[in-house]
């Protein structure tokens, strides 16, 4: 698997994790159970809004990396005679 494929896979995994957690929260709310208000990420406690923001930023960063890998590379060169 190429590096750009690894980046895309990591991005897709994070997006799926966020989608699944959102669906779980909606199911808990529909069942009359309050969803968790805090999450533990990297050893610290964050609110749901912080968690979503952090995940969205990570997904965007990985998307930017994937797009940069897909772009054609140009090397400027000067020729001197």
Question: 7 and 69 in contact (C-beta within 8 Å)?
Answer: yes
Question: 59 and 15 in contact (C-beta within 8 Å)?
Answer: yes
Q: How confident is the model at residue 66 (pLDDT cuts 50, 70, 90)?
A: confident
Upper half-sphere CA count for residue 61 (Cβ side, 13 Å):
8
pLDDT digits (tens, 9 = 90+) for 16-62: 999 999 999 999 999 999 888 888 878 889 899 999 999 999 999 99
- In the prediction, which pLDDT does 53 show? 93
Identify the helix (H) or strand (E) that includes residue 66.
helix 48-70
Residue 1 has pLDDT above 60, yes or no: no
Residue 75 has pLDDT above 60, yes or no: yes
């Amino acid at each position: 698997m190429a590096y750009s494929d690894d980046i895309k896979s990591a991005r897709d995994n994070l997006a799926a994790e966020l989608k699944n957690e959102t669906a779980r929260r909606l199911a808990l709310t529909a069942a009359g159970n309050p969803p968790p208000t805090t999450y533990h990420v990297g050893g610290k406690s964050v609110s749901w809004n912080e968690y979503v923001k952090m995940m969205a930023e990570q997904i965007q960063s990985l998307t930017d990396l994937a797009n940069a890998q897909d772009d054609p590379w140009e090397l400027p060169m000067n020729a001197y005679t």
